[in-house]
Structure 1
Amino acid sequence: VPNSKLLINPAFTWWTVGYLLSYEGAKKLVDQEPLQKFIPTDEYLPIMFDQHPEEKFKLHFGPRNLKAFAIEPVIIRPTHYTSQEGYISDTSVAPSVSDLTEDDLIKLTQHDHISKEEL
Structure 2
Amino acid sequence: MKITIIRAECSKYGQDGVLYINNNPVCDTCEHPERKLPAGEYCLEMVMNRKLQRFVPTLSTGNIITMGNGPFLLNNDIIVGKRLLRGVLCQTSEANKKLVDRLYKAQLRGLKLSLTIK
Query: Do they superpose with TM above 0.5?
Result: no
Say which structure is richer in strand.
2
**TM-score where L is the length of structure 2:** 0.25
TM-score for the superposition, normalised by structure 1: 0.25
Pair member with larger Rg? 1
Structure number with higher relative contact order (C-alpha < 8 Å, ≥ 6 residues apart): 2
Larger helix percent: 1
